[in-house]
Amino acid sequence: MIIPVLCPSILARGKLSDIEFLAIKEFGGKLRSAEGSVTAAGDIASLTANTGKDMYFASANVTFALEDVSNNSAVLDDVVLKINGTIIETVVSTLEAVTSKGSTSVFTYQFRNIGHKVAAGQIIKIEAITVDTDTRIEGFIECFEENTGTSPAV
């Protein structure tokens, strides 16, 4: 009778979770991030791919917060994710009015279009297009960087 023996390296191979993949990139010094906030239209956070490097979009999110508003109407805010000036994804937030002192209306959005390549010299950014005067928007963007022409695979 033949008993099959499996190689431990084959058993160890499996699908990496997103966290494991990003941890490997962080350990290799390849993970980059930026964060910021705005109360008016403009750039929230941006990263530029370094010379000789390509970046790959890993994650980004925005949080909309509406605080201590005396009017009774909802507010509308627009934010976009752009790569080299091209809109990749748009989020529109409608926050309900806050009428009691100390209350906050909050909405967080996680961008879904991960994996896009940002070539050397190109910019990836989260930009607020329309911001109500009573809204604060915070954003975070994360990419990992590889030498141009190198596979991002682990």
Residue 154: name the closest of 1, 50, 20 by CA: 20
pLDDT per residue as tens digits for the range 22-47: 777 777 778 899 999 999 999 999 99
Return the half-sphere exposure (C-beta side, CA atoms, 13 A cut-off) of residue 85: 1
Domains (ranges, CATH) in the chain? 31-147 (2.60.120.40)
Average pLDDT along the chain = 83
153 C-beta neighbours (distance < 10 Å), count:
7
136 C-beta neighbours (distance < 10 Å), count:
17
SS3 state at 18: helix
CA 77 to chain centre: 18
Over range 118-130, report the average pLDDT.
95
pLDDT per residue as tens digits for the range 44-89: 999 999 999 999 999 999 999 887 666 566 778 999 999 999 999 9
Q: What is the pTM of this model?
A: 0.79
d(CA 113, CA 61): 11
Over range 88-116, report the average pLDDT.
85
SS3 state at 22: helix
